[in-house]
């Protein structure tokens, strides 16, 4: 038996909590399915939900220790009801990219490696960890970025390993999702739950296959 959650039900549960700005963190290692999960949750809200990507703060030189800037530029302003403004990293040119402004909204999703880190996990309305086997994550990454980036991917995964070892984010989130399974679920409105607290209302059980 597997536990099935629905994005529309998750959205309803999140919006039922105190606002006015509710931050949802979607964390996990590269290639796990975080962006897909975040996008489907935003789509359940009508597609107008802002998504903030931690990749806009990370860089080749600082893959994981960018968090003070995100806390100051995104998390704290939004929770105070102010717009967040930050300069995104340009991964191609290895420098400053566009300036991005995020207006306060009933739901804002923070997506990417480090989205549920210790510095602000207590400020999140709901936190999600997407898990997937290492070899599957690497396969997805190289299929997307090309085999020529294999060495970069391995270096990036080593940096992720340090983050996970130091903070153990999966232990503290509200929902753990099977990222190897959820992408094909329910025409995009369902996901497979590995573990959950009260974040998902009345998850259903389904026979596998």
Helix (H, G, I), strand (E, B) or coil at 178: strand
Asked whether residue 171 is domain-assigned, the answer is: yes
Asked whether residue 191 is domain-assigned, the answer is: yes
Asked whether residue 151 is domain-assigned, the answer is: yes
Low-confidence spans in the chain with pLDDT less than 70 = 1, 182-187, 198-209
Q: What is the pLDDT of residue 47?
A: 75
Asked whether residue 38 is domain-assigned, the answer is: yes
What tokens does 202 get? 């009345």
Asked whether residue 99 is domain-assigned, the answer is: no
Q: What is the pLDDT of residue 209?
A: 38
Domain that includes residue 143, residue range: 2-49+107-206
Query: Which DSSP string corresponds to 128-156?
Result: EEEE--HHHHHHHHHHHH-GGGHHHHHHH
Closest CA to 163 of 97, 95, 65, 38: 65
Q: What is the pLDDT of residue 153?
A: 92
Q: What is the pLDDT of residue 1?
A: 60
Asked whether residue 137 is domain-assigned, the answer is: yes
CATH code (residue 179): 3.40.50
Q: What is the pLDDT of residue 49?
A: 94
Per the structure, the count of domains in the chain is 1
What's this model's pTM, rounded to 2 decimal places?
0.90
What is the dihedral angle through the alpha carbons of 188, 209, 133, 68, rounded to the nearest 10 degrees? Answer: 30
Helix (H, G, I), strand (E, B) or coil at 19: coil
Find all residues with CB under 8 Å of 67, minimum gap 6, and list them.
Answer: 57, 114, 117, 119
Summarize pLDDT for 87-131 with one digit per residue, the tens.
999 999 999 999 999 999 999 999 999 999 999 999 999 999 999
Find all residues with CB under 8 Å of 162, minimum gap 6, and list them.
Answer: 64
């Amino acid at each position: 038996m597997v536990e099935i959650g629905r994005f529309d039900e998750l959205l309803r549960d999140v919006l039922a909590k105190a606002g006015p700005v509710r931050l949802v963190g979607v964390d996990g290692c590269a290639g796990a399915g975080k962006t897909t999960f975040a996008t489907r949750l935003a789509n359940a809200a009508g597609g107008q939900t802002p998504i903030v990507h931690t990749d806009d703060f990370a860089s080749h030189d600082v893959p994981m220790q960018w968090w003070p800037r995100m806390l100051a530029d995104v998390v704290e302003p939004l929770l105070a009801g102010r717009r967040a403004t930050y300069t995104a990293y340009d991964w191609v040119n290895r420098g400053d990219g566009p300036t991005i402004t995020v207006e306060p909204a009933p739901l804002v999703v923070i997506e990417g490696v480090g989205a549920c880190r210790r510095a602000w996990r207590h400020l999140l309305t709901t936190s999600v960890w997407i898990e997937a086997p290492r070899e599957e994550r690497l396969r997805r990454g190289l299929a997307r970025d090309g085999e020529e980036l294999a060495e970069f991917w391995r270096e990036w995964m080593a940096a992720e390993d340090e983050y996970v070892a130091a903070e153990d984010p999966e232990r503290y989130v509200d929902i753990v999702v099977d990222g190897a399974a959820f992408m094909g679920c329910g025409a995009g409105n369902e996901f497979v739950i590995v573990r959950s607290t009260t974040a998902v209302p009345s998850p259903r059980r389904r026979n596998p296959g």
